[in-house]
Amino acid sequence: MSQQERPGSSATGGVNRRLVLAGLAGGVASAGLTGPSAAAAAPAGRPERDRRVEALLGKMTLAEKIGQLQLVGDETTARAALAAGRLGGVFSVVGAAKLNALQRIAVERTRLGIPLVFGLDVIHGYTTNFPIPLAQGASFDPAVAGTDAAVSAGEARRSGIHWTYAPMMDVTHEPRWGRIAEGYGEDPYLAARFAVAKVRGYQGDDYSAPDRVAACAKHFVAYGGAEGGRDYNTVDVSLQRLHNLYLPPFKASVEAGVATVMASFNTISGVPAHGNGYVLHDVLKGAYGFRGFVVSDYTGIEELILHGLAGDGADAAAAALPAGVDMEMVSTNYARFAERLLAERRITRDQIDDAVRRILLVKFRLGLFERPYVDEATEVKAPSPAALAASRQVAARCMVLLKNDGPVLPLAKTVGSVAVVGPLGAATYDLNGTWAGLGTGAGTTPPVTVVDGIKAAVPGAAVSYTPGCTADGTDTGGFAAAQQAARAADVTVVVVGETAAMSGEAAARSTIDLPGVQQQLVAAIKETGKPFVVVLVNGRPLTIPYLHENAPAILEAWAPGVQGGHAIADVLFGVVNPGGKLPVSFPRAVGQIPVYYNHENTGRPADPASKYTSKYLDLPSGPLYEFGHGLSYTTFRVDGLRLSGTSLPARGGRIEVSATVTNTGGRDGDEVVQLYLRDPVATIVQPVRRLRGFRRVTLAAGASTTVSFTLTPDDVGFYDNTARFRVEPGKIEVYVGTSSAATLSASFMVV
């Protein structure tokens, strides 16, 4: 194509791509977005910090401005860019002395002394690893995410890191996708609640504080919809699903004050996110009023060429900057081509100034102009006792008891002997899971193994360990020794699942069974006839129908972090009564994917008694374990559902929903009361259920409490295919219970 016809060649900067999406949406971009609690484009008045930004911007040359748009990922490249005066930030360089040395060059040897921002993937821990985010979602307690973020921020900032590339809030229905481990599961409401808690935990009230960092909401947007669960893959999504499923956590994070946003690798209805002016410019910066800056993902701007949106690096820069990407990570298309593109009128000076202004504003808010250096004596190189205690408590709070026949669990502390079997029974760093910060490798504190956790929990018992097999191998030669250990013990704890490398970025799996011969190992232990329980260590839902049918008890421990062995033992021996719930459905088989609770109905819903309905011939309908499922060592009853009224005004209305939850068993324990809504008749077909409230409560044996939720029009409304938020009159069904299969129901009318 000619130069004039290339993407981004318009002087208006990216308008051609936005119009493509606007046309698909029926004029979304021109109509403007409306919705609940819409953020203002900018606060009234201009605070002192903004005036300082404008004053500095006015002193900068074009070259200095372009330099602020560059982010690099190694020390050598950083020094070279600083020598040329063209660098805004550095990531993945750790060590207070190294960071201070780079900062001195920026502050003391460049003309304007603009400090660098230092970033790192602090996802679920810096030196102290907490459970992976998916596990945290299973706690159904946003304070868990807040604790992780606050501890992590303190460790990172005292070590010279200003900025973390978290939280990841990509909602997904795809368990094959490795990055499901980094998010909070399949529900946008749950993900939004946790995203807000994580942002506030990282940033506090003022992220210039010496124990806070700037957060980054990622990946914007719809990355969790990757086709086939294959990382970086295409996402084709309707406007209503984009706004109802994928965008809510990002909107909530912007309202919570998140400092930065990262663009996603995927296309969105044919337009890559890094060149997608509709989602970045119109939605994020326009409708949501986001004032921070957007950073590309690793070489994301360069990848516009391979996507087919850009013909070369200049095209890529001309697409990304007008679309709304402010800072370029690793690739250097802004640095190489921005001046030329400006001369050719393919980008504008206002677009450059806007990007620089946003970056400078975050640097001022971080306090970098006042305190550019970190005290090297404060650098955190190992977890503190308080941080370890927090990690242990959080890890136990995240575990989900999937099954407990008998009940087998909790195990008695008077047990005489325990055999620990399975390839992950003595695992260390695999318990950290993906994105372990500085918590993996030489010189770091290895996680507590399950074997050591059990030995500490029952010091009077004889505890043995036999791996039986490797995590993903085919050798069954160790089965005989594992069976011998099981026969010699009072009870066997079989620890199976995935290694850390089996989930996370670029870790999609085409099948999500137990890897290797681990299922056969469980079968071999069952053959002994001795009591056993299964502990799962994994970063995603697994297809485990065999375990469901054959294991007496299954504890989902996820990747539990640095205190994982202690936390698992705490739950196995009843020191902690598990109260977690699944934040994502567990499919029966990979061929059933996607299977998720908040699906839309069909004209022929599944009916096992009728052939011509939506189902599989060879599988029961629905997941193996539904969203919100989780057992306890005690039992609970939820009843007494009450609504404060029978109608909800569409403007400004409120309805209180309350129910009584009672601990009907003999142990103290936690229950998560969950509220779901259904709109059975709407102009856009609605999910069969939508989570709109949850509360985790702790109750003594025999005790009761009332749990209440407030519903407003925001809870019953939805976005249509012109991206407008609608609250329609009609009946709304309410379901309250302990999982997405809740049966206690009532209804009200929206008027």
pLDDT tens profile 82-136: 998 899 999 999 999 999 999 999 999 999 999 999 999 999 999 999 999 999 9
- DSSP-based three-state secondary structure for 237: coil
Asked if the model's pLDDT at residue 5 lies above 50, the reply is no
Within this chain, do residues 209 and 317 fall inside the same structural domain, yes or no? yes
User: ∠267-271-272 over CA atoms, to 5°?
Assistant: 45
**Residue 614 falls within a domain, yes or no?**
no
CB 463 within 8 A of CB 580: no
Query: Is the model's pTM score more than 0.85?
Result: yes
Within this chain, do residues 494 and 527 fall inside the same structural domain, yes or no? yes
Q: Please tell me the distance from the alpha carbon of residue 399 to that of residue 561, in angstroms, as a whole number.
A: 12
Which are the contacts of 223, defined by CB distance < 8 A and separation ≥ 6?
170, 179, 235, 264, 265, 266, 273
Within this chain, do residues 121 and 181 fall inside the same structural domain, yes or no? yes
Within this chain, do residues 289 and 347 fall inside the same structural domain, yes or no? yes
Longest dimension (CA), the chain: 80
pLDDT (mean) for 482-494: 98
Q: Please tell me the distance from the alpha carbon of residue 302 to that of residue 325, in angstroms, as a whole number.
A: 12
pLDDT recorded at residue 35:
58
- Residue 16 — very low, low, confident or very high, per pLDDT cuts 50/70/90? very low
Asked if the model's pLDDT at residue 729 lies above 60, the reply is yes
Nearest to 138 by CA among 522, 625, 511: 625
CB 99 within 8 A of CB 374: yes
pLDDT (mean) for 135-152: 98
Asked whether the bond before 447 is cis by omega within 30 degrees of 0, the reply is: no
**Residue 608 falls within a domain, yes or no?**
no
We report the CATH number of the domain holding residue 193 as 3.20.20.300
Q: What is the DSSP letter of 411?
A: P
CB 330 within 8 A of CB 73: yes
Per-residue DSSP letters for 532-584? EEEEEE-SS----HHHHHH-SEEEE--S--TTHHHHHHHHHTTSS------SS
Asked if the model's pLDDT at residue 468 lies above 60, the reply is yes
We report the CATH number of the domain holding residue 644 as 2.60.40.10
CB 372 within 8 A of CB 103: yes
Q: Please tell me the distance from the alpha carbon of residue 703 to that of residue 697, in angstroms, as a whole number.
A: 11
pLDDT recorded at residue 19:
31
Determine which of 20-24, 476-480, 693-697 has the lowest per-residue pLDDT on average. Answer: 20-24
Q: Please tell me the distance from the alpha carbon of residue 521 to that of residue 473, in angstroms, as a whole number.
A: 12
- Residue 694 — very low, low, confident or very high, per pLDDT cuts 50/70/90? very high
Within this chain, do residues 559 and 689 fall inside the same structural domain, yes or no? no
- Return the number of other C-beta atoms located less than 10 Å from residue 175's C-beta: 28
Within this chain, do residues 572 and 642 fall inside the same structural domain, yes or no? no
Per-residue DSSP letters for 1-61? --GGGSTT-STTSSHHHHHHHHHHTTSHHHH--B-TTPPPSS-SS--HHHHHHHHHHHH--
Within this chain, do residues 356 and 415 fall inside the same structural domain, yes or no? no
pLDDT (mean) for 547-557: 98
Known catalytic residues are 297
Number of structural domains the chain divides into: 3
Can you state the angle between helices 479-488 and 518-527, rounded to 10 degrees?
40
Read off the tokens for 297.
């993902």
**Residue 1 falls within a domain, yes or no?**
no
Q: Please tell me the distance from the alpha carbon of residue 732 to that of residue 687, in angstroms, as a whole number.
A: 12
We report the CATH number of the domain holding residue 587 as 3.40.50.1700
**Amino acid letter, 177:** W
Which are the contacts of 497, defined by CB distance < 8 A and separation ≥ 6?
424, 471, 514, 518, 536, 537, 538, 542
CB 159 within 8 A of CB 490: no
Higher-confidence position of 499 and 38? 499
Within this chain, do residues 208 and 307 fall inside the same structural domain, yes or no? yes
Within this chain, do residues 263 and 408 fall inside the same structural domain, yes or no? no
pLDDT recorded at residue 440:
79
**Residue 147 falls within a domain, yes or no?**
yes
Output the average pLDDT for the chain.
94
**Residue 13 falls within a domain, yes or no?**
no
Q: Tell me the per-residue pLDDT of 322-356, one tens digit each, with 9 for 90 and over.
A: 999 999 999 999 999 999 999 999 999 999 999 99
Q: Tell me the per-residue pLDDT of 192-228, one tens digit each, with 9 for 90 and over.
A: 999 999 999 999 999 999 999 999 999 999 999 999 9
pLDDT recorded at residue 36:
58
Within this chain, do residues 103 and 146 fall inside the same structural domain, yes or no? yes
Q: Please tell me the distance from the alpha carbon of residue 685 to that of residue 601, in angstroms, as a whole number.
A: 8
- Residue 20 — very low, low, confident or very high, per pLDDT cuts 50/70/90? very low
Asked if the model's pLDDT at residue 45 lies above 70, the reply is no
- Residue 445 — very low, low, confident or very high, per pLDDT cuts 50/70/90? confident
Within this chain, do residues 582 and 659 fall inside the same structural domain, yes or no? no
Please say which residue of 572, 592, 612 terminates a domain.
592
pLDDT recorded at residue 575:
98
Please say which residue of 353, 378, 403 terminates a domain.
378
**Torsion from C-alpha of 688, 690, 695, 698, nearest 10 degrees:** 30
pLDDT (mean) for 401-427: 98
**Residue 708 falls within a domain, yes or no?**
yes
Nearest to 488 by CA among 552, 418, 535: 418
pLDDT recorded at residue 180:
98
Higher-confidence position of 346 and 29? 346
**Amino acid letter, 565:** G
Please say which residue of 592, 626, 644 terminates a domain.
592
Asked if the model's pLDDT at residue 17 lies above 70, the reply is no
Q: Please tell me the distance from the alpha carbon of residue 433 to that of residue 529, in angstroms, as a whole number.
A: 32
**Amino acid letter, 66:** I
What percent of the chain stands above pLDDT 70?
94
Q: Tell me the per-residue pLDDT of 221-274, one tens digit each, with 9 for 90 and over.
A: 999 999 999 999 999 999 999 999 999 999 999 999 999 999 999 999 999 999
User: Which uninterrupted H or E stretch holds 193?
Assistant: helix 188-203
Q: What is the CA radius of gyration of the chain?
A: 26
Nearest to 664 by CA among 638, 635, 699: 635
- Residue 44 — very low, low, confident or very high, per pLDDT cuts 50/70/90? very low
Q: Please tell me the distance from the alpha carbon of residue 652 to that of residue 143, in angstroms, as a whole number.
A: 29
What length does the chain have?
A: 751
- DSSP-based three-state secondary structure for 733: strand
**Residue 629 falls within a domain, yes or no?**
no
Within this chain, do residues 222 and 334 fall inside the same structural domain, yes or no? yes
pLDDT (mean) for 304-321: 98
**Strand blocks (E) in 405-531:** 417-421, 462-466, 491-497
User: Where in the sequence is the domain holding 711, given as residue range(s)?
Assistant: 636-750
pLDDT (mean) for 411-427: 98
User: ∠59-63-64 over CA atoms, to 5°?
Assistant: 50
**Residue 654 falls within a domain, yes or no?**
yes
- Residue 38 — very low, low, confident or very high, per pLDDT cuts 50/70/90? very low
Nearest to 227 by CA among 171, 300, 305, 174: 174
pLDDT recorded at residue 185:
98
